[in-house]
Amino acid sequence: MSRIGKKPITVVKGVTVTVTPANEVVFKGPKGELKQTIDRDIKVEVVNDEVVITRPTDQIRHRALHGLYRALLANMMTGVSEGFKKELELVGVGYRAAIAGQQLDMALGFSHNIIFDLPTEIKATTVAEKGQNPRIILESTDKQLLGAVAAKIRSLRKPEPYKGKGVRFAGEIVRRKAGKAAGK
Mean pLDDT of the chain: 92
pTM for this entry:
0.88
Tens digit of each residue's pLDDT (9 = 90 or more) over 14-29: 999 999 998 999 999 9
At 2 the pLDDT is 63
Helix (H, G, I), strand (E, B) or coil at 69: helix
CA 76 – CA 4 distance, rounded (Å): 15
Q: What is the average per-residue pLDDT within 65-85?
A: 94
CA 54 – CA 56 distance, rounded (Å): 7
Domains of the chain: 9-81 (3.90.930.12), 84-169 (3.90.930.12)
Burial of 168 (0-12, 13-18, 19+ CB in 10 A): buried
- Which ranges of the chain does DSSP label H, i.e. alpha helix? 60-81, 143-155
Asked whether residue 183 carries a pLDDT value surpassing 90, the answer given is no
